[in-house]
Amino acid sequence: MTTTPDTIRHVRLSTATLPLATPISDAKVFTGRQRPMTEVVFLFAEIRTEQGHEGLGFSYSKRAGGPAQFAHAAEVAEPAIGEDPSDIAKIYTKLLWAGASVGRSGVATQALAAIDIALYDLKAKRASLPLAKLLGAHRDSVRTYNTSGGFLHAGVEEIKDRATASLEAGIGGIKMKVGLPDTREDLRRVSAVREHLGADVPLMVDANQQWDRATALRMGRRLEEFDLVWIEEPLDAYDAEGHADLTRRLDTPIATGEMLSSVAEHVHLIEARACDIIQPDAPRVGGITNFLRLAALADHAGLELAPHFAMEIHLHLAACYPREPWVEHFDWLDPLFNERLETRDGRMIVPDRPGLGVTLSEQARAWTTDSVEFGRS
Ligand SMILES: [Mg+2]
């Protein structure tokens, strides 16, 4: 049997603003570096081929950067028209060079991520396979933990209640934020939550880059007694040397990587042995093409994996990592999509729908603020 090569006929880029029910604060807000987060801005790419196959991908930004991601994608996307949608790396490289003047990291690659992810979604749908199966999965479900209940704007009682609700919903672990100006208050909150959960529930903490090296080491030592799964972003995201030092000196595993926006930056972390658990974010590093590149290097270096945010994408990618990973459960994006991911017995189930297994909701269309189209509709 032979197949006829397909070509990309139409690309639609759109941007939508998702409002959050409650303003969100982590340590970056308490140290005065950022304002509470009230919305997340998305860049969607919808791609259609001559043979009628379709793909959906997205990128996102918090607090600022959404208009820049949309503008950059709109500037460089046109050369994708007429390409074979299966040649994802070729298309990615072509669009990357179209915008190379502004770099191969940050906003430039995040703009391309939506297109890259849409091409993978399309390829998997064309093969009638879930994305994880197209890539080659190690498992049909992934351990999952909840973050959205443990922010710093929430009091301990609220965190405990939301943790209980998460566990009852089949989510396996609980992450809470630390990094308050008063470190003793951090320890009191972690102690109260650990006591509430008991010894057997996996618990993680996330300092969102707000400790200096001395505080991180001191806090890391005091946190050892709580048997944490990991301490996340104890230091500035670009302090690979400091993270490496903590990784050597503490028994509790160190996790970081969510803020990095290129393969090269992740390679620096990996080569410095800066963490035990690497936390790449596919939309932030430029899509699935780049995620797979750095995941291969991380596995080779013996690191564990816990991708950041965007569970709709990362569930599939985590399912393909050789070492048992974690995926972060955030229900914030639920209003954007018609489908829901299932959690059971502490794990998130890879959907059996083709591709990513999500379609844009009417609400996502209603929240759309701008769009641009290329090719023939
Ligand atoms: Mg984090």
Answer yes or no: is 355 within a domain.
Answer: no
- State the alpha helices, DSSP H only, in 46-105: 66-76, 88-98
Write down the pLDDT at residue 25. Answer: 87
Alpha-carbon distance 185 to 39, whole Å? Answer: 28
Q: Which residues are catalytic?
A: 177, 308
pLDDT in tens, 20-62: 988 888 888 888 888 888 999 999 999 999 999 999 999 999 9
Residues 244 and 256 in one domain: yes
Angle, alpha carbons 341-344-349 (nearest 5°)? 45
Residues 120 and 218 in one domain: no
Q: For residue 51, how far is its CA from the centre of ligand 1 (angstroms)?
A: 41
| Alpha-carbon Rg for the chain in angstroms | 20
Pick from 194, 164, 139, 148: which is nearest to 323 by CA? 139
pLDDT band at 322 (very low <50, low <70, confident <90, very high): very high
Inform me whether the pLDDT recorded for 2 exceeds 80.
no
Q: For residue 249, how far is its CA from the centre of ligand 1 (angstroms)?
A: 21
Alpha-carbon distance 247 to 164, whole Å? Answer: 30
Q: Are 283 and 114 in contact (CB under 8 A)?
A: yes
What is this structure's pTM? 0.97
Q: For residue 307, how far is its CA from the centre of ligand 1 (angstroms)?
A: 10
Look up residue 287 and give its two tokens. Answer: 């899509």
Residues 311 and 342 in one domain: yes
Alpha-carbon distance 175 to 159, whole Å? Answer: 10
Write down the pLDDT at residue 225. Answer: 98
Residues 117 and 148 in one domain: no
Residues 123 and 213 in one domain: no
Domain of 153, in residue numbers: 132-349
Answer yes or no: is 108 within a domain.
Answer: yes
Residues 166 and 97 in one domain: no
Write down the pLDDT at residue 30. Answer: 86
Q: For residue 48, how far is its CA from the centre of ligand 1 (angstroms)?
A: 34
Mean pLDDT of 303-331: 97
pLDDT in tens, 101-133: 999 999 999 999 999 999 999 999 999 999 999
Residues 173 and 243 in one domain: yes
Helix/strand/coil (H, E, C) string of 107-161?
HHHHHHHHHHHHHHHHHHHHCCCEHHHHHCCCCCEEEEEECCCCCCCCCHHHHHH
Q: For residue 329, how far is its CA from the centre of ligand 1 (angstroms)?
A: 12
Structural domain count, the chain: 2
Average pLDDT of the chain, as a whole number: 96
Write down the pLDDT at residue 1. Answer: 67
Look up residue 296 and give its two tokens. Answer: 């291969």
DSSP code string of 24-47: E--HHHHTTSSPPEEEEEEEEEEE
CATH at 52: 3.30.390.10
Write down the pLDDT at residue 339. Answer: 98
Residues 207 and 295 in one domain: yes
